[in-house]
Structures are given as structure tokens and as C-alpha cells.
């Protein structure tokens, strides 16, 4: 069947004759009128995404469509730029209320530019250059909402308004975190979300794994160290073992934010510290580091009122200010990128030797925990495990010590070897506790004891007389390898096991609680010249010899409110459970020598 489109060229009647193959013919008369008609009603028919939103990658396009009714009762049910007999721009004009978020061409092709927290008006108007008829128009209010490209991250909702608005001070909103993996499998990620500090704060303890990542894979959040920052770490999974998540848009996490004000908007942006993904067929790994989040950057609305959407950028900026200028000027702070070891070359956790503790260290650590045959043999070809050193080839080198952030290798050989996760490995070796510590360190909520002195002979300064002081001192290093001496960031506890000197008193530092434990005394260290220090005075009878005396050091990172992290295990040097519970395996020994009596002995009766 053939179709013909007829266009009038002059007023009058035209007879059209159609002849069939068998010779039968028929005619129809078509009247062409030159009486002007006008558009009386425009009814938009564009198909939008959920909640009248346009979601897609930056630069995505969509054609506006509409039903047109004319003054002579003629109707076109789906008039669009595809009409071949009439130029759209001859009868219609198209406009966007703000071209920072949507642009629209002369034929009604809309281009998605950026996220916005309100709907933007897209208007179709009739056009009459002579002004002989009244112009009619129709407007659709549409949310612009970017989706992430491959290896990009999206914060907020995938459809509708990017972020659910907050209407009152103290109220909260949930922020979703999506990663686009394309056709690859997501193995590991570290994402830092940064909030506009004067307007939003993260709800402590609200960060959880998303349904796309699940609870069976490694995951941790740091939503408490700073009120304006959330660090999200997931992984690793391995191409040679547990299945990696695979989906174009993976919901990896959710966290909540609380409003500090009830007007205006608040910027949310972020950094992709690490995304490592795997080829679905070969398992080969690749990824990106230190990239700005694109699709997720946007503004959260902090009031219930709706801005009137103005017809021009100049009018908009004059009334409300230029949000676009702020957007372009804002860049993620440098401190949210990888923290390189700028202060020391001896920093636990850097098993790959790149002067930083990153996701690559976690991947290597996990491969060693899994004791993959190819790692042991040094024959792995696919993924980031390729060409990595094996436990056997490390010997007692610095890199091997990096695998042991709790310093188990400083214990007696038999005791240290017994802690290795993989049977047959010898200390320094990988442990499940060590993996958890590295995971928390990557999330920037953990510290390590200084490792410049690998024997730790300087941790304990024993008294030189029965009335002298006992000093215990330790240094901490942060993720950047620099000394951490801020009491607002960490708390260091020192428990001393002693049978004969429990009545000692503290002169530098303080009792932890009442100081009493089942095996000795517990103290909170004070910072003296970057050293976390406890100085103790002897009992009134002087120091007594104690061959089993030892100390355990407990490092507890603190939240922004000064509380210890309650969902994370503290870092114990050197015991696998809380010293106060009765399990005590001393990190460093205390030598209480035999001193001369401090007072003259009482004379014995004759």
C-alpha cells in the first residue's frame, strides 16, 4: 500500500482520481482554502521518564511532541519534527526556562545539560509573525536528572527530583549511591561524598550497603569522622572466587543527611577515589582513581517553597543568583583524594608499594587470604593480581611486614605463626583481623602505631629505681603516614598487666573509668610532643618485681562528636579480644627489676 501526502498550492477544488489494476477507478474532490486558520490548543504529548523527569547522560536528547488543534477543527494528534510537509519552526517556537539545565532547539529537540533540584519549564508556543492571531502556548515542568556514565557515580534518585528535599531544620533525607559498571563487573570502590558544611551534616551511623552490593561482600562506611563527609568502601570481590556485582547501575550504598537550615539549597559533590572493575569474560581488571563525580553532583532543596521558573538566564540570575557559576567553581577538596604517605616510608598497609593505602592493597591482601594457587605460584595472568609478589618471595622484607598491621610478627615465632589465616604461612602473614584493619584504614577511620622502631624497644621505659617513673609511649600515624596526635581524632588506651604493682598511680594521662581490670590497670594516654604517653608512679611500697608484667595498647578512632566508633572493632596491640575481658597477650613487656627496699626493714626481735 502506498501513501501520498498532498500539500495545497492554491485555493480551489482539486479532483483526485485513483485507478486500480483491474481498470476500476474512483474520484475524490479536495478543497483547498486560503482562509487563515490558527492554532487554538497545544496539548503536550512528550513521553518523559518517571515523575515527569528527563533522565540520561549529559548531552542526551529528546524530541518534544504535541497534539495541535486548529480554529477550523482540524487536529494533528502527534505533531513533531518528523512532519515532512510542514516545517515545525514555521508554526511553533520552543523555549527552556533555564538553559543551564535544558536547552531546546528551533525544532523542539531538548538536550539534558545538568541536574537541577526543581522542575524546569519547557514551553511550546504557536507562531504568527504578523501578529494577526493570538499566540497560544503549553508548558511542561520537567526535572533534569543525570545518569552516570561508565565508571561514574550518581548520588540521589535515578528518576524525578535528584534529591528528596528537606523542608525543616533537623529533618533528614536519604541519599542513594549508584555506580555504573557498563558491561563489566564491579570489584572494588571507594567513594567520598562531600556535603556543604554550613547547611548539611551526615547522620552518624546511617550509611549502609545498598541492595545492589549486598551484605555478603566487604563493605564499610566512615560517616562519623567528619560531619560533612562520607567515605564509602566496598570490596574487593575477586574474579577467581566470589562473584563480583555486575549491573549497569548498581545501588552500592545509602546514607542520610540532616538539614542545618530551612531555606535555600545545599551542594553535594564527590570524588571517585577508586573504582576497579573486571572484564566479564577474561577477569582482567582495570579502573580509575581520583576522578570527580559528575552525574552525582547537584543541589538538595532545603525548603518546601517552589521557585518560579523564569524565562531567561539573565532574569533568573538577577533574582536568585547564578547557581551555575557556583557549580563550575566548586571542585572536590584535595584532602578527599588518595592520601599519599608524605611523612614516612614505613607505613603499614601499603603492600603494593605505591606510597598510599588504597583499594589495590585490599585486593592483594584478599588474594593472599584466599591462598589462590596462581598467587602462590606467581602465575596469575588476569586481573590486578598479575605479577604481584608471593608470600614465599617476600621473605622477611618490609613489604611482608606491611601485611601485618597488628604487628603480630613481633610476637614469639610460634605464637605469631599460629595467627596466620592460611595454614602453612609464617609470620609476617595475612590475617582476617589485618584485612578488617586495612578496610577501615582505606575508609580513613583507623590509625597505626608508628613502625619506625620495628622492635618497639622504646615503647616502655622501665623505672631505674623502686621510686622512679614507668613511662609508656607510642606514636600513631594516619592514612597519609603522618603523625596523628589530635585527641579529637583518636583515643589511646594502655592496659598494664601486673600482679604486684596494681596500686600504681598515674601522673601523665588518666585512669580509664575507675582504672580497674581483671588483670591490671587501664589508662587513657595524653599527648606529649606527638607521643601518646602514660607516666606512672610506683605504689607506696615502691615497684615490686613482676616477671609477667606487660602492656596492651588499644587505638580507638573517634567520631566528629568525640565518641569512639561503636560499630568498628578497636585496633588492639596485641590481643584478639578486649584486654579487660581476661584475654591478655602483651604487646610489650615491662621489666621490673629487683630494687633495693625503699625503707629500712623492721628489726627482728632477738
**Tens-digit pLDDT profile for residues 349-399:** 777 767 777 888 887 777 777 655 454 555 544 444 433 455 555 555 666
- Mean pLDDT lowest among 132-146, 322-336, 347-361: 322-336
Mean pLDDT of 434-452: 79
Rounded to whole angstroms, how far apart are CA atoms 26 and 4?
Answer: 16
Q: Is residue 52 part of a domain?
A: yes
Residues 534 and 508: their CA atoms lie apart, in Å, by 5
Query: Do 387 and 465 sit in the same domain of this protein?
Result: no
Comparing 10-14, 225-229, 348-352, the range with the smallest average pLDDT is 348-352
Q: Which domain-ending residue is among 272, 296, 321?
A: 321
In the predicted structure, residue 410 carries a pLDDT above the cut 80? no
164 in the same domain as 132: no
Residue 298 lies in a domain: yes
Residues, the chain, total? 606
What pLDDT, on the 0 to 100 scale, is given for residue 29?
Answer: 93
The verdict on 511 and 566 lying in the same domain is: yes
If you average pLDDT over residues 2-21, what whole number do you get?
Answer: 83
Whole-prediction pTM? 0.80
Flag whether 563 is in a domain.
yes
d(CA 147, CA 59): 11
Residue 126 pLDDT grade (very low, low, confident, very high; cuts 50, 70, 90): very high
Cα 223 from Cα 231, distance rounded (Å):
7
402 and 525 assigned to the same domain: no
Rounded CA-CA distance 191/307 in Å is 32
Q: What is the distance between the alpha carbons of residues 425 and 26, in angstroms, rounded to a whole number?
A: 95
Q: pLDDT grade, residue 605 (50/70/90)?
A: very low
Lowest mean pLDDT among 32-41, 160-169, 397-406, 459-468: 397-406
The answer to whether residues 186 and 304 belong to one domain is: yes
pLDDT digits (tens, 9 = 90+) for 23-63: 899 999 998 888 888 899 999 999 999 889 999 999 999 99
Cα 489 from Cα 508, distance rounded (Å): 19
Is the pLDDT at 116 greater than 70, yes or no? yes
Grid coordinates belonging to 51: 515523575
Which residue would you say has higher pLDDT here, 230 or 322? 230
Flag whether 131 is in a domain: yes
pLDDT-derived band at 325 (thresholds 50, 70, 90) equals very low
Let me know whether 165 and 248 are in one domain. yes
| Residues 379 and 243 occupy one common structural domain | no
Instruction: Name the residue range of residue 165's domain.
Output: 153-321
So what's the pLDDT on residue 387?
A: 39
| Residue 403 DSSP symbol | T
Domain termination residue (choose one: 300, 321, 342): 321
Rounded Cα distance between 420 and 50, Å, is: 53
Would the pLDDT of 103 be above 80? Answer: yes
| Dihedral of the alpha carbons of 68, 69, 74, 80, in degrees to the nearest 10 | 0
Residues 404 and 509 in one domain: no
Task: Categorize the per-residue pLDDT at 170 as very low, low, confident or very high, splitting at 50, 70 and 90.
Answer: very high
Q: Distance (Å, rounded) from C-alpha 519 to C-alpha 579?
A: 8
pLDDT, residue 311, reads 36
* Region for residue 404 given its phi and psi (left: phi exceeds 0; alpha: psi -120 to 50; beta: otherwise): beta
| Same structural domain, 292 and 393 | no
Confirm whether 317 is domain-assigned.
yes
Q: Tell me what pLDDT residue 342 has.
A: 61
Q: How many domains does the chain have?
A: 4
227 with 292, same domain: the answer is: yes
Residue bearing the bigger pLDDT, 568 or 113: 113
- pLDDT of residue 312 exceeding 50, the answer is no
Write 3-8 long-range contacts (CB < 8 A, 24+): 5/84, 5/85, 6/30, 7/85, 8/32
Q: Per the domain annotation, does 187 fall within a domain?
A: yes
Rounded CA-CA distance 305/166 in Å is 11
Identify the residue with better confidence: 94 or 420. Answer: 94
Same domain, 182 and 285: yes
- pLDDT tens digits along 69-80: 998 888 888 776
Q: 15-24, 189-198, 415-424, 495-504: which has the highest mean pLDDT?
A: 189-198
Give the CATH number for residue 60. 2.60.40
Q: How far apart are CA 169 and CA 258, in angstroms?
A: 8
Return d(Cα 178, Cα 197) in angstroms, integer. Answer: 23
Residue 20 lies in a domain: no
Residues 6+ apart with CB under 8 A from 359: 188, 189, 190, 233, 235, 236, 273, 274, 276, 442
- The position carrying cell 508548558 is 139
Q: Please give the pLDDT value at position 484.
A: 86
| Residue 601 reports pLDDT greater than 60 | no
As a whole number of Å, the end-to-end CA separation of the chain is 137
21 within domain boundaries: no
Pick the last residue of a domain from 413, 445, 477.
445
The answer to whether residues 576 and 471 belong to one domain is: yes
Amino acid at each position: 500500500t502506498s501513501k501520498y501526502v498532498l500539500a495545497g498550492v492554491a485555493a480551489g477544488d482539486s479532483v483526485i482520481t485513483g485507478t486500480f489494476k483491474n481498470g476500476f477507478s474512483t474520484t475524490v474532490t479536495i478543497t483547498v482554502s486560503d482562509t487563515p486558520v490558527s492554532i487554538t490548543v497545544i496539548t503536550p504529548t512528550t513521553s518523559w521518564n518517571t515523575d515527569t523527569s528527563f533522565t540520561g547522560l549529559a548531552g542526551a536528547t529528546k524530541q518534544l511532541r504535541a497534539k495541535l488543534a486548529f480554529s477550523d477543527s482540524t487536529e494533528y494528534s502527534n505533531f513533531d519534527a518528523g512532519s515532512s510537509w510542514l516545517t515545525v519552526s514555521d508554526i511553533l517556537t520552543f523555549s527552556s526556562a533555564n538553559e543551564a539545565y535544558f536547552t531546546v532547539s528551533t525544532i523542539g529537540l531538548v538536550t539534558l545539560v545538568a541536574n537541577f533540584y526543581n522542575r524546569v519549564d519547557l514551553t511550546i508556543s504557536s507562531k504568527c509573525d504578523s501578529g494577526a492571531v493570538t499566540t497560544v502556548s503549553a508548558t511542561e515542568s520537567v526535572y533534569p536528572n543525570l545518569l552516570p556514565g561508565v565508571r561514574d557515580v550518581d548520588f540521589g534518585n535515578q528518576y524525578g527530583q535528584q534529591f528528596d528535599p528537606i523542608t525543616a531544620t533537623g529533618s533528614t533525607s536519604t541519599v542513594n549511591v549508584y555506580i555504573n559498571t557498563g558491561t563489566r563487573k564491579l570489584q572494588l570502590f571507594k567513594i567520598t561524598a562531600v556535603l556543604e558544611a554550613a547547611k548539611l551534616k551526615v547522620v552518624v551511623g546511617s550509611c549502609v550497603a545498598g541492595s545492589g552490593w549486598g551484605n555478603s561482600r566487604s563493605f564499610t562506611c566512615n560517616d562519623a569522622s567528619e560531619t560533612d563527609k562520607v567515605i564509602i568502601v566496598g570490596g574487593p570481590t575477586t574474579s577467581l572466587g566470589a562473584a563480583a556485582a555486575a549491573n549497569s547501575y548498581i545501588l552500592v550504598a545509602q546514607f542520610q543527611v540532616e538539614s542545618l537550615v530551612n531555606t535555600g539549597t545545599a551542594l553535594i559533590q564527590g570524588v571517585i577515589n577508586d573504582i576497579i572493575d573486571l572484564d566479564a569474560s577474561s577477569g582482567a581488571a582495570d579502573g580509575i582513581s581520583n576522578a570527580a563525580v559528575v552525574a552525582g553532583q547537584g543541589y538538595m532543596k532545603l525548603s518546601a517553597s517552589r521557585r518560579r521558573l523564569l524565562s531567561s538566564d539573565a532574569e533568573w540570575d538577577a533574582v536568585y543568583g547564578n547557581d551555575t557559576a557556583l557549580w563550575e567553581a566548586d571542585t572536590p577538596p584535595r584532602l578527599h583524594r588518595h592520601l599519599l604517605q608524605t611523612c614516612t616510608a614505613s607505613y603499614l598497609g601499603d603492600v603494593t608499594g605505591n606510597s598510599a593505602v588504597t583499594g589495590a592493597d585490599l585486593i592483594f591482601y584478599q588474594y593472599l587470604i584466599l591462598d589462590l594457587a596462581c598467587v602462590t605460584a606467581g602465575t596469575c595472568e588476569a586481573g590486578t593480581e598479575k605479577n604481584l609478589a608471593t608470600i614465599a618471595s617476600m621473605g622477611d622484607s618490609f613489604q611482608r611486614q606491611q601485611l601485618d598491621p597488628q604487628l603480630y610478627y613481633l610476637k614469639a615465632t610460634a605464637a605469631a605463626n599460629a595467627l596466620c589465616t592460611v595454614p602453612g604461612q609464617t609470620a609476617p602473614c595475612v590475617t582476617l583481623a589485618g584485612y578488617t584493619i586495612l578496610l577501615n584504614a582505606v575508609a580513613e577511620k583507623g590509625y597505626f602505631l608508628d613502625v619506625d622502631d620495628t622492635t618497639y624497644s622504646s615503647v616502655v621505659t622501665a623505672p631505674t629505681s623502686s621510686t622512679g617513673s614507668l613511662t609508656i609511649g607510642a606514636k600513631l600515624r594516619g592514612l597519609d603516614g603522618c603523625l596523628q596526635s589530635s585527641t579529637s581524632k583518636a583515643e589511646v588506651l594502655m592496659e598494664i598487666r601486673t600482679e604486684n604493682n596494681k596500686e600504681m598511680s598515674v601522673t601523665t594521662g588518666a585512669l580509664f573509668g575507675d582504672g580497674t581490670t581483671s588483670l591490671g590497670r587501664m589508662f587513657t594516654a595524653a599527648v606529649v610532643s606527638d607521643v601518646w604517653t602514660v607516666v606512672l608512679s610506683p605504689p607506696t611500697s615502691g615497684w615490686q618485681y613482676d616477671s609477667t608484667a606487660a602492656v596492651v595498647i588499644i587505638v580507638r578512632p573517634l567520631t566528629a562528636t568525640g565518641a569512639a566508633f561503636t560499630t568498628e572493632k578497636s585496633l588492639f596491640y596485641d590481643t584478639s579480644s578486649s584486654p579487660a575481658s581476661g584475654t591478655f597477650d602483651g604487646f610489650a613487656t615491662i621489666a621490673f627489676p629487683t630494687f633495693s627496699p625503699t625503707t629500712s626493714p623492721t628489726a627482728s626481735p632477738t
